[in-house]
Amino acid sequence: MNSAFQKRIIGSTILKNAFIKTATFEGMYDNGIPNQKLIDHHVSMAKGKVALTTVSYGAVSPDARTFKTQMYIHPESLEKLKELADAVHNAGGKVSIQLTHCGYFSKNTDQKRPLAPSRVFNEYGCMSGIMFSKAMTSEDLRKVSDDFANAAMALKNIGFDAVELHMGHGYLLSQFLCPWTNKRKDEYGGTIENRARYPLQVFNNIKDKVGKDFPVLVKLNLSDGFKGGFTLDESVYVSQELEKAGCDALVLSGGFTSKTPFYLMRGGIPLKGMIQNGTSLAEKFTMALFGPFIIKKYKFEPNFFLEQAKVIRKAVKMPLVYLGGVDSAQGIEEVMKEGFDLIAIGRALIHDPDFLIKIEKGSITKSGCTRCNQCVVEMDRGGVRCVL
Ligand SMILES: Cc1cc2nc3c(=O)[nH]c(=O)nc-3n(C[C@H](O)[C@H](O)[C@H](O)COP(=O)(O)O)c2cc1C
């Protein structure tokens, strides 16, 4: 396990150890502008020995937001993000941000026809009256790709150490990879080579803009977790293409927010809080009535993505970030033994930002997180936190 506390290099950036705080939506914004809580949250991670902390969901344009008051990358939010980057650096850590476009997962009522690879029913935002997506035209494809590249450059300019391109969890680039949402008949739909074309173009556009030395990580699904979705075999193909394209590190995850939201976390479903947080009466009612039937429960196991992630480990040489259920010294050891370069952690660090300090010292061997997943509900109640 000690090897995990030794330094790592991604791109031209030196990390003090193997640990990344993965993106977990913070909800620490005032009208979409990062607030002091967000800064303090990431500083606490840096002080807790996290080498690279990841700010979640940096929407690359106003249309990339899933809801109206979500943060997007523009001068006002960049001003606060610069403060955040400086504060994390002063605390001895490095900082990255997840660059995201929601695709059709939109409850943003400014946007009647959210963008997607194809025209599909918006099961995520239909309760907000946004029923169908618009299939992206070539002009949309160009504009969104430039939004990603410009956002990455803006973050580099204010001192961020890396960016993470979100290709997973059912957001726009994942909607391209997934045959269930990508019904295109042109060179962007059909075979996996075609479905991967746009996500890879976006990656290349970012790299061209920021230069090859600036680390660009990619968060990619191992699989979507449902029949008819993106598969592990397809993930092998995309990983190999990203390796050829010069991806600095691949963060492996899984799941599709509108269909298998707890596939990526496992454990409890905090249904009561989710109903209370519903944005409309209709949404609360639907969630109360159908929630227990439509939200599938997955049993939590430590290192729950390891078997799938090992398949990617065999297929590429590039730095791989293991993510999913790391919560103990033994879990860290196992991930290192399987040849992963970096380890991303979510809930164990929400539960206790000093988790890594205590694990290294040996004062604990395991996190006290119970995977009740109430932290998911707290995101929309003033900021993500552990309720224990
Ligand atoms: C409260 C909460 C919020 C999350 N928000 C995001 C997010 O904004 N973006 C993302 O890619 N993943 C998000 N995730 C998923 C985590 O990045 C991670 O994949 C998951 O928690 C499994 O890792 P863990 O077992 O170490 O917690 C979130 C998870 C939690 C618990």
C-beta of residue 115 within 8 angstroms of C-beta of residue 133: yes
> What residues have CB less than 8 Å from 87, skipping those under 6 apart?
39, 42, 43
Bridge-based pairing of strands 342-345 and 19-21 is parallel
Q: How far is the CA of 25 from the centre of ligand 1 (A)?
A: 7
Least confident of 60-69, 109-118, 300-309: 109-118
Ligand 1 proximity of 266 Cβ (cutoff 6 Å): no
78: left (phi over 0), alpha (psi -120 to 50) or beta: alpha
Q: Is residue 383 part of a domain?
A: no
Atom 14 of ligand 1, residue of closest alpha carbon? 24
Domain count, the chain: 1
Residues forming a β-bridge with 342: 321
Q: Which of 171, 188, 263, 322 is catalytic?
A: 171
* pLDDT tens per residue across span 114-150: 999 999 988 877 877 888 899 999 999 999 999 999 9
Distance 114 CA to ligand 1 centre (A): 24
Which CATH number goes with the domain that contains 251?
Answer: 3.20.20.70
Question: Which is the closest atom of ligand 1 to the Cα of 219?
Answer: 11
- Residues with Cβ < 8 Å from 159, sequence gap 6 or more? 82, 85, 86, 89
Residue type, 349: L
Beta bridge partners of 52: 20, 94
Query: Does 301 reside within a domain?
Result: yes
Nearest to 98 by CA among 114, 81, 117, 86: 81
Determine whether the shortest distance from the Cβ of 265 to ligand 1 is under 6 A.
yes
Q: How far apart are CA 234 and CA 242, in angstroms?
A: 12
293 is written with which tokens?
Answer: 């039937």
Assigned token pair, 298: 């997955």
pLDDT at 299 over 90: yes
**pTM (whole model) above 0.75:** yes
pLDDT in tens, 301-360: 999 999 999 999 999 999 999 999 999 999 999 999 999 999 999 999 999 999 999 999
Q: Is the shortest distance between the CB of 173 and ligand 1 below 6 Å?
A: no
User: 135 is in which domain, residue-wise?
Assistant: 2-378
- Average the pLDDT over each of 82-91, 203-212, 376-385 and give the range with the smallest value: 376-385
Contact status, residue 103 vs residue 115, Cβ threshold 8 Å: yes
| In a domain? residue 384 | no
Can you tell me whether residue 36 is helix, strand or coil?
helix
- Residue 385 within a domain: no
**Cα 183 to averaged position of ligand 1 atoms, centre (Å):** 28
Report yes or no on 73 lying in a domain: yes
Percent helix, strand and coil across the chain, each rounded to 5? 40, 15, 45
Query: Does residue 25 sit within a domain?
Result: yes
Joined together, the tokens standing for residue 13 give 């950036």
Is 171 considered catalytic here?
yes
Asked if residue 134 belongs to a domain, the reply is yes
Range from 19-23, 135-139, 199-203, 374-378 carrying the lowest mean pLDDT: 374-378
What's the chain's average pLDDT?
Answer: 94
Average pLDDT over residues 77-91: 98
pLDDT of residue 106: 87
Closest ligand 1 atom to residue 375 Cα is: 1
Whether residue 388 lies inside any domain: the answer is no
- Give the pLDDT score at 282: 67
